[in-house]
Each structure stands twice: as C-alpha cells, then as structure tokens.
Structure 1
Amino acid sequence: MAKEGFSTLPDVGTRQAWLVMLKSEYRRLGGGSKYDDDPESRYSWDSTVANHLQVKAGDIVLLWNESGSLGASVIEKIAIGKAIKRRGRCVNDQCRSVNYEPRKTIRPVFRCYDCESLFDDPIFEDVDVTTFRSSHGQAWVDLSGQFTAAELRALCVKPKSQNSFRALRWDAVRALAADEMGGDVFGALDATTRQIQGGHVVRPTRVRRGQKDFRQQLLSKYNNRCAFTGTLPPAVLDACHLYSFAKVGKHHEHGGVLLRRDLHTLFDRGHIAVDHDGRIDVSEEYRRYPAYEGIHGQLLTITTTPEQRGWFELHWAEHRKSTAL
C-alpha cells in the first residue's frame, strides 16, 4: 500500500453535489472486492469507478439505496491510497463486462447486465487501483425515506445514468426538500462547508447507547426547537448532552437540549458556551463566520430548568476559564 494522501479543497464556485449509491445494496460490483462503508460517516471507491477524480473535499453527497434516500452530508476530506483489487468479469469473450449481478433463486448464479450471458464463475483478475475514502460525518442529515428512488433519479443531471456517482442538480434537491419537509433542512451542510473552506474541521459526536430514545424525548419536549436557533426540521437536530456522557454514563432527564448538528459539535468543543444570563457566547475564531456571529449574544430559545442552568454553568467554567462564574 502506498503512503496515504489527502485531496485539496475546491473553490466555492466549483462545489458539486453527487447522488451516491450505497454499495451494500448495489448488485453490479464486478466481483469480489468489498467495502466497509458507513453511510453516515464514510464511503470508499477506487479508480475503476466513473467520476472517481471529479469527487472532491467540500462536495455534497446524498447517499441512497435501491429503495430511496438515506441522508446527505459534506465531504470533509478524502484519504487516497493504493491497493490491488480483485475484479470479476463476464465469461463471454465478446463482452468481458464487470456489470453482472447475482440471481437469488436460480442457477446459473450470475447474469451479465450487458450481454445477458449466464454463468456460475466469473473470470477474475487482479488490478492495481488508486483508492479513495471520504470522511463526511460532521454535517450528516438523515433523509431516510424522504425521497424515493424515482425522485432521486429525476434530480440527476443525467437521470438515466447507472454510475455509482451521479451528478445532482442541488438547487432542485433543496427545492424538493423544502416542499416535502418544510424549511431549509440543509443549513448544517452550508455551515460545515464554510468551516472547511475556512480551514476549520471538527469531528462529529457519535451516537451513544440509548441516544435514540433520549433524542425522541427531547424532540417531543421541545417541539423540534434548537436551543440556539429556534424551530428546525427534526432531521437536522441532535440530542445534546450538557455534560460529559462518557464520564457520567447515563441520560439525565434535565441533562439535554436539542441543537443543530454543527452547533452541537461546536458546543462539545467549547467553541460555543452559554453564560449565566442565558446568552450564547461564540468563541472569537468562529465569530468570523456569519452563521455563528449571528447567534453570538442572543438568548436561548428555550426556557431552562435549574438543573440545565447548572450544567451550562459547569460547561462555561470549563471552556471560559478566564471569565468563569
């Protein structure tokens, strides 16, 4: 394996959106190589894939399977390496396509998508490839079941494309999302893009045991209201602990609020805190970004309990030591 490298960021005007097929659902893989994709955080491909060089850090990815949408995010970085890929081909000498698919109940096992030949054993070859692996967990917006496969294909620049990466008409995606889900559900993607282009990349907070129920309780309690910015679509809201869950190990009844995903990450990192008056304090380095400068000094959008105010004060003391209460 060659030394791993990283792609560079594109200019704002060249940002691209891609519809990306989850390979665990994609049948025509051309043989034996498998991937450990996690749609919420990473996606792998190689130099045999169409558009492999066009995908850049800063691009938007909307992942889907054969049923419909899974979610969308922004590529923070792409790790680049080298590997040997075992690839299968059709047995027909006049075809040799890698586009064959398994048949679940009948033999022969495989059917070639291009020439319709039937066979049990593909012809395998080992090829040198460049590998690519995205990191895109920070801005993940859950779109499970929001768009059908037919809707997603219609949003592609080339609706009849069969590629794993298909160029998307992003303005059309946003318009459809606004119609079907209400409001702008992709604000976290825009904020993350500005962070990346400004040279600041922060890591997502991973889901803990019981987090799903904890989040559902907060969604019901606060009626989908982000504590920093107000009401938003549920897809962009995280359940934020006001304390270190890793240290405490349990979900306290009054120990959480809803935050937009990027704000949750910045709160966990101490770049955003709440003072004793219930006003939001954004660190100076992040006030350079309009998305965050606009909430600096604003009051919380929710009414807090004494327990929550206590957690906010402890967080303030930890991350604003020079002016701690």
Structure 2
Amino acid sequence: MTLQQLAYFVAVADVGSFTRAAESLGVAQPTLSRQLRALEDELGSPLVDRSSRDGLALTPAGEAVLPFARRMLADADGARTAVAEIVGLRRGRVRVGATPSLCIGVLADVLRVFHEKYPDVRLELVESGSQPLVRSLVRGELDLAMVIVPPPGIDAALDTEPLLRERLSVASPTSERAPTSRSSMTVKELARRHLVVPRQGYDLLESTLKAYADAGETPQFAVEGGEMDAVLRMVEAGTGVAVVPDLVFSSRPRLRRTVLTPPLYRTVALARRADLAPTHAMRAFRDTLLSFLAVVSAGDGFPGDVQVLRRPEALTPAPAASPD
C-alpha cells in the first residue's frame, strides 16, 4: 500500500470516474487503474464497483477504507508541512548556552534579533560557566553554547568556532578611589586588594588563580563562590575587586576598569557536538550571531579590548537538500 495508491482511490471516490480522477491528478487513466487494482489486491477486496449502472460506486470495503485513506493522506501532508516549516524556520527549537558576561554583552541582543526574524522558533537559554555548559553540550542538553576555549578535558567531543578575543581587566567601584594612579596594574599590585570571585565552574576563577600563581602571589579573598551578577554587585558595593571580562563594563557604569599588565586574554567560541549535524535553526542562529558581531565590529565596537575573530563571509552555507 502506498500513499499514491490511496490518493488515486480518494480521487476516484470523490469524482466517481476513472477518467475525471486521472485528469484531476494529471496522470494517464491506465496508470490510475493499475494502481487502484494493485491497492485492491493488497487489501484483498474490490474497493470500487465497476459494474454499477450509475457509474462507479464504492463497495462496502471501499466505504470502510475511505475515511482511513483520507486520514492517512492528511497525516502525510501534515508531516510534509511540519518538516517544511522547520526547514523554512517557521518552527523549531534552539537551546543556547552562554556564560553570564556573554549573555549580558552579546547574547541578549542576538536573541532579540533572532526572535524578530524567526518568531516561531522556540529559544531556550541556559546561563552558566563554561565547564557546565560544555558538559551540557556533550550530554545533548544544549544545541549551541558560547564558551571559553579550549574546553577543559573533552574538547574532542565538540566542534568549536572562535568568535571573540577579549581582555580580562580589574573591576573596582567608581565610588571609591582607583586601585592605582595609573590606568593599569600588575598582579602584584592586585594581590594587595581583596578579591570577589565567582563559583567553581567559571573559567574566570581559574584564569584569575593562574595569573596569581604565575606571578608568585597569593590571593586575598573577600567573597568566594558567587554567580557573576552577584560578583559585580558586590564590587559595586565596595566589597572587593574582581577580574572580569571587558564585555561587562558596558552595562555597569558603577564599575571602573583597570587593565592588568601583562595582559590576560581569553577566546570565546561557539561550540556544538561534533558528531551531530546542525539543524537549519542552529545554522540560522549561528548566522545571526556572526552577523551581529560583524555589525558591532564595523560600528563603535565592543567596550574595552574585545576583538571579533569570525566574519560572516567565513560561514559555511547550509547543505543543499538531498534529492532523495
């Protein structure tokens, strides 16, 4: 039994004529007749009474099969429509993860632009440190994530595209005197101040501790273990200073930026599972993200020392649909 055979049968039932049914479907009448006969052979009973004096009529078996045939054809059409909508980005889902600073400095605007272009694609956002985000990607709980590279331990499981190179600077409250009389400070100078640091799982914590270790210094902690927003609020309140990415300063006028010397940089990448082909919705999100970065880079740019590494022309176009 095929959908084509069912479509021929429904057309015959609707118009009561092999000739008119074939014309409406754009096929030769002998072809339609053969296919309908094959369907009847498959089901083991005639569906159409060809000897009726009043033209074609459905047999009791045909009457019983007709509602099923209509339903099956409708379901098949619904399946085609659903797939076409997903391919055409009228439906679908993208599960995106990002670190808090990237949510503030980049992703909020990208999500707005994407939603305006594809309002029926469901967006799900997870905000966390890079390490938890990488684990979620590998477990299949996220489709894409903006993470710091290289991802620790399991980078072979991910495909990553570098997006940004951003500097890490010292945040202090504008309500207090600057940490130094200069616009920069060393880790040795930073070690004299009390730190507010995020919880485990934020690469920022490891980057800060490594900078201290490389300089032979021991950090003094004011508060440990906060989420990024809490860290920034505590700095604004004068609890301590923090090492943060430059992206956060654009939305925090109560924070003062002092650069570290030698400089600390980190690379942000868009990551996904290497063994899974990206969906059309994922590709569209990636295109939207890269286009947004290019527009910002061509304009006033990001605050502080943030460099865009990927351009829209470097995008790989979505593969053509298979002829099968």
TM more than 0.5: no
TM-score, normalized by length of structure 1? 0.21
Q: Work out which of the two has the higher radius of gyration on C-alpha atoms and give 1 or 2.
A: 2
TM-score, normalized by length of structure 2? 0.21
- Larger relative helix fraction: 2
